[in-house]
């Protein structure tokens, strides 16, 4: 039996609170609800926008529309549930309605037995902390504070930074429990008390506020090691508080500083800036840590120019760093900078090896907080499941389209409840402690077929698709498929498949031709062994019929005193007196299964090698992962038909932080031939591009790039140019077009190595050390340059912009 590794991580449920950015009253309620939730300070607040307000960009530029900004927040944070501050705010965000809640539905109300609430509140945590710590006298007391603003204008600021409890009588038991367990010191917040609270953070035994205590037992990995931030904001501006809340959820060390208190806290701020200007530990190159002073968007440039020199700038050279722009976490990180990601929250983790039984079932237990009571609210915590198939067979579906808005297409178990496919992994919400799961895994072909049907596309497996799947499965997966990743080997197998009657080659001839093809390449040294042991070929005996003189191949199990000729169907005697005479008998290998099909296994070789390319050639198996299916004939619900030779879900993995979103790949594969990519092939890909915008479209052939005809290049290039157009709503190109030739399909190991060996433009493209070919946008750009003669994407965009400006000027002059 095969086995898979299962990584299970326990974290709090991530709620996304949708609120108007100027709604002070409901924003305060959001701070209060999150104070009562386990891990509440990491729940994002998503501003509801009908249009982009003027204050959104400091210089007044509008890079995105309101929809793009909201979608950007959702894609960055990937909330498990959305909570509307007022009904209807999340109606058009594409979320499954079953996962949209009202603010009043999150917490369990006191004395309402039928109101169970959603999420995991802090009461079980309080109870456990009391039993384990706070009922005893401590040698070093841990100061717990309850902060309330002296003046009402700072009440929202206090709730945002330190937490607050709901004032409604239905939720009064949260404050009562907190005060009963921790006997907190009550702080009236003003400038002086804020300095004392912030100063205590640097001491060995600091303070804990209600908001901080709610994150107890959560390990936080921010995936970055930048310096701290002093976030200067207007305490009376709800939008500044929202920005600070979200920024703090992403960055580890950040202090909020009201602009109203800059003057009395100036000395403290300057001392903070000076103390944080220090060498980076362990770095011998003189790199310094610096505190960044960030100004919120409500503070004007003129005010910053006045405030910073007066209250914040120090006399220490190099210590002063000012940032007047708010990091656009709603905007995808450009490819040329370090990726920004949300932190990873973890309460516990377990990795297990699970045996896959004959029906593809696996068993594992979910994780839960040890301090939780057995029963409570619904959906109290989340388990993030990541399944890895280390068998390298590549048949099981372990990667799925990432879409946090809708339920995952995977259907592992009956009654599983909400199942999400995110960049973290598969997310489930166990209702109880000690829950055991029995999941039935599925093959990639079945998973992709289910996904296409969900998109109202009928499909049937094509002959070429069946051949593709059988080739990869027979050879044992992507690594085994490398046995046919050589032009001479493919030609040999196809030659054998075309031979009448025998479909075979003499043993020595077959072995010698394989040996000549692979040479001394260390990555191909086991090709002959793999082809034989994986049953791509079968050893038998070729015998010459004494009746008609034709040669026929016979399996070892068929050998006997009397043999039957496959051509004339008459019997003849086995040459028992001289079996080693090659004029009458010889050992021979015959192609079997899909390898016995003519026309390059019905086109299966090219498609199988293209799948292998994305599965193991483009990068190491730790860096990327795919779910794949062979070719299908497709029928759309409105009548059009299409055909795809292979389909993939492709995901780039990250060692730290969330993975990249899964990309959809559709492929057209051809073997050899002079002019094989026709207009109808492009038309089918265009049909799929309209249905699945932003996908990747691959044209793969076993012939070399210089063998592509001028017409083929023209057809594919025209489609590639159409695909390069930018889709503003989705913030990506309409379609990425990748061209794969024999160089890529027959790569023995890594693509970079093959391109360097080819020299010329391809070597130049991969020579910089920072190039990441597993980034499909880069791969598309490079292959379009190498095989279609297109300029770089950046140059192409620049030329289009210049042409547009020229037309505008010409039009103006004409008028």
**Structure-token pair, residue 808:** 């505008």
More confident: 790 or 289: 790
Report the pLDDT averaged over residues 50-55: 93
List % helix, strand, coil for the chain (3-state, nearest 5): 35, 25, 40
Poorest-confidence range of 54-58, 191-195, 482-486, 767-771?
767-771
pLDDT band at 524 (very low <50, low <70, confident <90, very high): confident
Poorest-confidence range of 129-138, 283-292, 320-329, 525-534?
129-138
Query: With 70 as the cut, is the pLDDT of residue 201 above it?
Result: no
pLDDT band at 246 (very low <50, low <70, confident <90, very high): very high
CB 33 within 8 A of CB 119: no
pLDDT of amino acid 801: 87
Query: With 70 as the cut, is the pLDDT of residue 657 above it?
Result: yes
CB 145 within 8 A of CB 184: yes
- Which of 127, 197, 140 minimizes the C-alpha distance to 163? 197
**Cα→Cα distances 815→722, 801, 802, 803, 810, Å:** 31, 21, 20, 18, 9
More confident: 201 or 509: 509
- Which of 510, 508, 515 minimizes the C-alpha distance to 495? 510
CB 600 within 8 A of CB 460: no
Query: With 90 as the cut, is the pLDDT of residue 231 above it?
Result: yes
For 308-366, what is each residue's pLDDT tens digit?
Answer: 999 999 999 999 999 999 999 999 887 767 788 899 999 999 999 988 887 888 999 99
More confident: 177 or 59: 177
Query: With 90 as the cut, is the pLDDT of residue 93 above it?
Result: yes
pLDDT of amino acid 814: 42
Report the pLDDT averaged over residues 103-117: 76
Report phi then psi at 89, rounded to 5: -65, -30
Angle between helices 238-250 and 155-162 (to 10 degrees): 10
pLDDT of amino acid 206: 58
Tokens 């060692």 correspond to: 655
Q: With the CA atoms of 614, 617, 618 and 624 taken in that order, what torsion angle do they form, in degrees rounded to the nearest 10?
A: 60
pLDDT of amino acid 620: 67
Report the pLDDT averaged over residues 259-282: 92
**Structure-token pair, residue 498:** 């075309």
**Structure-token pair, residue 81:** 């549930």
For 690-743, what is each residue's pLDDT tens digit?
Answer: 999 999 999 999 999 999 999 999 999 999 999 999 888 778 899 999 999 999
Plot region of 85 (φ>0 → left; ψ -120 to 50 → alpha; else → beta)? alpha
pLDDT of amino acid 627: 94
CB 77 within 8 A of CB 420: no
Contacts of 811 (CB under 8 A, 6+ apart): none
Report the pLDDT averaged over residues 111-118: 65
> What letters, b where the CB count within 10 A reaches 16 and e where it falls short, cover 448-459?
bbebbeeeebeb
pLDDT band at 139 (very low <50, low <70, confident <90, very high): low
CA 434: distance to chain centroid?
29
pLDDT band at 203 (very low <50, low <70, confident <90, very high): very low
The helix (H) or strand (E) run that includes residue 518 is helix 507-518
- Which of 89, 96, 43, 100 minimizes the C-alpha distance to 66? 89
Residue 177 to residue 763: CA distance in whole angstroms: 67
For 561-610, what is each residue's pLDDT tens digit?
Answer: 889 988 888 999 888 878 878 888 899 999 999 999 999 999 999 999 99
Report the pLDDT averaged over residues 130-141: 71
pLDDT of amino acid 485: 93
pLDDT of amino acid 354: 87
Tokens 């159409």 correspond to: 722
**Structure-token pair, residue 59:** 């210089």
pLDDT of amino acid 288: 84
Residue 520 to residue 529: CA distance in whole angstroms: 15
Contacts of 812 (CB under 8 A, 6+ apart): none
pLDDT of amino acid 433: 84
Residue 202 to residue 205: CA distance in whole angstroms: 8
**Structure-token pair, residue 101:** 């809640």
pLDDT of amino acid 557: 86
pLDDT of amino acid 813: 45
pLDDT of amino acid 202: 46
The two counts, helices (H) then strands (E), for the chain are 25, 36
Query: With 90 as the cut, is the pLDDT of residue 400 above it?
Result: yes
More confident: 417 or 625: 625
pLDDT of amino acid 815: 34
More confident: 30 or 201: 30
Which of 104-118, 537-551, 645-659, 700-714 shows the highest mean pLDDT? 700-714
Query: With 60 as the cut, is the pLDDT of residue 676 above it?
Result: yes
Helix ranges, 186-237 (H): 191-199, 210-213
**Structure-token pair, residue 218:** 């959560």
Query: With 80 as the cut, is the pLDDT of residue 282 above it?
Result: no
Measured in residues, the chain has a length of: 815
Poorest-confidence range of 156-170, 511-525, 775-789?
511-525
Q: List the chain domain ranges.
A: 3-10+342-454, 476-535+537-591, 601-803
Report the pLDDT averaged over residues 772-788: 95
Cα dihedral sign, 681-683-688-689 = positive
pLDDT of amino acid 176: 95
In 600-678, the DSSP E strands lie at 624-636, 641-652, 663-670
Say what percent of the chain tops pLDDT 90.
Answer: 68
Say what percent of the chain tops pLDDT 70.
Answer: 96
Report the pLDDT averaged over residues 429-452: 89
Residue 474 to residue 487: CA distance in whole angstroms: 19
pLDDT of amino acid 403: 93
Q: Provide the mean pLDDT of the chain.
A: 90
CB 541 within 8 A of CB 554: yes
Poorest-confidence range of 26-40, 200-214, 713-727, 763-777?
200-214
**Cα→Cα distances 337→144, 288, 333, 340, 770, Å:** 40, 20, 7, 9, 11
Tokens 């207009």 correspond to: 679
Query: With 80 as the cut, is the pLDDT of residue 101 above it?
Result: yes
CB 783 within 8 A of CB 705: no
Residue 538 to residue 589: CA distance in whole angstroms: 5
CB 696 within 8 A of CB 664: yes
**Cα→Cα distances 88→85, 92, 93, 200, 242, Å:** 9, 8, 10, 42, 20
Which of 55-64, 201-210, 783-792 shows the highest mean pLDDT? 783-792
The β-bridge partners of 6 are: 352, 387
Query: With 60 as the cut, is the pLDDT of residue 559 above it?
Result: yes
């Amino acid at each position: 039996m095969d086995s898979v590794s299962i990584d299970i991580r326990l974290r709090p449920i991530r709620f996304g609170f949708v609120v108007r950015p100027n709604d002070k009253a409901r924003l305060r309620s959001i701070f209060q609800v999150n104070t009562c939730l386990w891990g509440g300070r990491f729940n994002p607040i998503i501003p509801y926008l009908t249009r982009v307000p003027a204050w959104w960009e400091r210089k007044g530029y509008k890079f995105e529309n309101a929809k793009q900004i909201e979608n950007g927040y959702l894609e960055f944070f990937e909330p498990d549930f959305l909570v509307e501050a007022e009904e209807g705010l999340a109606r058009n965000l594409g979320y499954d309605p079953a996962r949209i809640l009202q603010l009043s539905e999150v917490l369990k109300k006191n004395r309402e037995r039928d109101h169970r609430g959603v999420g995991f509140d802090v009461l079980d945590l309080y109870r456990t902390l009391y039993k384990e710590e706070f009922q005893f006298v401590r040698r070093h007391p841990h100061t717990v504070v309850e902060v309330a603003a002296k003046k009402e204008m700072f009440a929202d600021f206090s709730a945002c930074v330190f937490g607050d409890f709901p004032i409604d009588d239905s939720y009064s038991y949260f404050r009562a429990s907190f005060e009963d367990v921790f006997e907190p010191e009550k702080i009236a917040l003003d400038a002086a008390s804020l300095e004392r609270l912030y100063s205590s953070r640097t001491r060995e035994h600091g303070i804990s506020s209600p908001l901080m205590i709610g994150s107890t037992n959560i390990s936080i990995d921010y995936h970055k090691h930048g310096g701290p931030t002093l976030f200067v904001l207007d305490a009376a501006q709800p939008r500044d508080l929202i920005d600070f809340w979200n920024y703090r959820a992403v960055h580890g060390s950040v202090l909020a500083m009201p602009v109203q208190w800059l003057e009395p806290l100036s000395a403290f701020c300057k001392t903070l800036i000076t103390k944080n200007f220090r060498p980076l530990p362990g770095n011998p190159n003189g790199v310094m840590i610096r505190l960044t002073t960030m100004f919120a968007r409500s503070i004007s440039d003129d005010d910053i120019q006045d405030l910073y020199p007066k209250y914040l700038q120090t006399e220490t050279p190099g210590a002063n760093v000012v940032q007047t722009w708010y990091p656009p976490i709603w905007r995808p990180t450009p490819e040329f900078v370090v990726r920004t990601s949300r932190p990873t929250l973890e309460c516990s983790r377990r990795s297990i090896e699970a045996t896959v039984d004959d029906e593809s079932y696996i068993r594992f237990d979910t994780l839960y907080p040890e301090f939780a009571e057995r029963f409570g609210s619904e959906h109290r915590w989340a388990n993030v499941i990541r399944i890895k198939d280390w068998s390298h067979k590549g048949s099981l579906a372990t990667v799925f389209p990432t879409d946090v808005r809708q339920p995952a297409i995977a259907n592992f178990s009956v009654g599983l409840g909400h199942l999400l496919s995110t960049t973290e992994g598969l997310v489930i919400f166990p209702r109880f402690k000690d829950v055991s799961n029995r999941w039935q895994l599925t093959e990639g072909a079945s998973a992709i077929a289910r996904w296409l049907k969900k998109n109202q596309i009928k499909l049937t497996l094509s002959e070429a698709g069946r051949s593709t799947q059988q080739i990869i499965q027979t050879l044992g997966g992507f690594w085994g498929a490398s046995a046919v990743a050589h032009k001479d080997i493919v030609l040999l197998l196809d030659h054998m498949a075309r031979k009448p009657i025998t479909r075979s080659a003499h043993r020595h001839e077959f072995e010698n031709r394989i040996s000549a093809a692979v040479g001394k390449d260390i990555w191909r040294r086991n090709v002959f062994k793999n082809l034989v042991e994986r049953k791509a070929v079968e050893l038998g005996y070729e015998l010459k019929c004494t009746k008609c003189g034709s040669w026929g191949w016979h399996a070892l199990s068929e050998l006997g005193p009397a043999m039957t000729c496959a051509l004339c169907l008459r019997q003849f005697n086995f040459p028992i007196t001289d079996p080693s005479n090659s004029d009458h008998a010889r050992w021979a290998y015959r192609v079997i299964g899909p390898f016995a099909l003519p026309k390059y296994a019905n086109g299966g070789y090219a498609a199988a090698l293209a799948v292998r390319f994305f599965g193991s050639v483009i990068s190491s198996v730790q860096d990327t992962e795919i779910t794949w299916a062979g070719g299908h004939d497709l029928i759309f619900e409105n009548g059009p038909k299409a055909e795809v030779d292979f389909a993939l879900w492709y995901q780039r993995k990250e060692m730290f932080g969330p993975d990249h979103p899964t990309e959809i790949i559709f492929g057209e594969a051809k073997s050899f031939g002079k002019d094989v990519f026709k207009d109808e092939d492009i038309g089918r890909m265009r049909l799929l591009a309209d249905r699945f915008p932003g996908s990747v479209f691959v044209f793969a052939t076993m012939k070399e790039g210089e063998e592509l005809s001028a017409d083929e290049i023209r057809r594919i290039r025209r489609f590639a140019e159409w695909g390069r157009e930018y889709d503003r709503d989705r913030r990506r190109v309409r379609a990425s077009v990748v061209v794969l030739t024999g160089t890529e399909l027959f790569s023995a190991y890594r693509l970079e190595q093959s391109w360097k060996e080819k020299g010329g433009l391809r070597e130049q493209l991969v020579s910089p050390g920072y190039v990441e070919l597993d980034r499909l946008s880069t791969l598309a750009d490079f292959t379009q340059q190498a095989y279609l003669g297109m300029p770089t994407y950046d140059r192409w965009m620049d030329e289009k912009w210049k042409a547009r400006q020229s037309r505008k000027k010409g039009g103006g002059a004409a008028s």
